[in-house]
Amino acid sequence: GAVVSQHPSRVICKSGTSVKIECRSLDFQATTMFWYRQFPKQSLMLMATSNEGSKATYEQGVEKDKFLINHASLTLSTLTVTSAHPEDSSFYICSAVAGQVYNEQFFGPGTRLTVL
Amino acid sequence: GENVEQHPSTLSVQEGDSAVIKCTYSDSASNYFPWYKQELGKGPQLIIDIRSNVGEKKDQRIAVTLNKTAKHFSLHITETQPEDSAVYFCAASRGNAGNMLTFGGGTRLMVKP
């Protein structure tokens, strides 16, 4: 149980294009999902908190107009990187909260974004 | 806000030896402390967690201890195997569902056969 999937696993795009990443909780409902970015050999950096049916809460320094988050259902959240640039190249990981009381987060396998 | 420090940043052990990773946190209201294992190119995998109402939890070769007074918690891996080689992250959270995790900087564990 508690499986989270991400799609795509890897994407290469040209500078200026937009890329959508999907995060799905496969066997549980997640009212809250998180989006992280991870640069090589670094820890996970929280980008935003996504709650089903409401606007995402972005961490300081994360541009909400550049990283569009939609949490349309209890099993799906999407992150769209708009007008991507090479500095947006990173490993993007989502997590979903499975617990009802405690904050058990389960992570997706990540999406490697490379912007040329 | 919460601040989590993790040590060491790298750890090399011989197969069969034990490995210990330590974390400290700053927010006394934190009450949920998970540990994640991340292999290269993959997402973090929850391996064990502990809540503030217990001092120790064990799952086969893995154990976690928590000292709330000192605000530190540790991961213990016994009888290490090469497949234990990965990056390990500790995290802390105010444990209500939906609260963010604050991660430590990670420990790269290398188990030499």
pLDDT at residue B15 tops 80: yes
Q: Identify which of B104, B108, B36, B37 has the alpha carbon closest to the alpha carbon of residue B72.
A: B104
pLDDT score of A84: 96
Question: From residue A89, how far is each of A41, A86, A95, B78 by CA, in Å?
Answer: 14, 5, 19, 37
Nearest to A110 among B36, B43, B49 (CB): B43
Return the structure tokens found at A32: 């809250």
3-state secondary structure of A75: coil
The residues facing A97 across adjacent strands are A105
Q: Identify which of B31, B34, B25 has the alpha carbon closest to the alpha carbon of residue B62.
A: B34
pLDDT score of A102: 63
Is A97 close to B98, i.e. CB distance below 8 A? Answer: yes
Is A31 close to B97, i.e. CB distance below 8 A? Answer: yes
| Cα–Cα distance, B59 to B94 (Å, whole number) | 23
Residues contacting A57, CB < 8 A, separation 6+? A48, A49, A51
Q: For residue A43, give the amino acid letter.
A: S
The answer to whether A79 and A94 have CB atoms below 8 angstroms apart is yes
| Cα–Cα distance, A65 to A84 (Å, whole number) | 12
The residues facing B111 across adjacent strands are B13
- Calculate mean pLDDT across residues B81-103: 89
Q: What is the pLDDT of residues A104-114, one digit of tens each?
A: 889 999 999 99
Is A46 close to B100, i.e. CB distance below 8 A? Answer: yes
Q: What is the pLDDT of residues B42-89, one digit of tens each?
A: 999 999 999 988 899 999 999 999 999 999 999 999 999 999 999 999
The answer to whether B37 and B47 have CB atoms below 8 angstroms apart is yes
CA dihedral A100, A101, A103, A104 (to 10 degrees): -60
| Cα–Cα distance, B35 to B95 (Å, whole number) | 14
The alpha carbon of residue A16 is apart from the nearest alpha carbon of chain B, in Å, by: 25
Nearest chain A residue (CA) to B39: A109
pLDDT confidence tier of residue A83, bands split at 50, 70 and 90: very high
| Cα–Cα distance, B88 to A26 (Å, whole number) | 25
When scoring B4, B7, B27, B32 by the number of chain A Cβ atoms within 10 A, the one with the most, hence best to mutate, is B32
Positive or negative CA dihedral for B73, B79, B83, B85?
positive
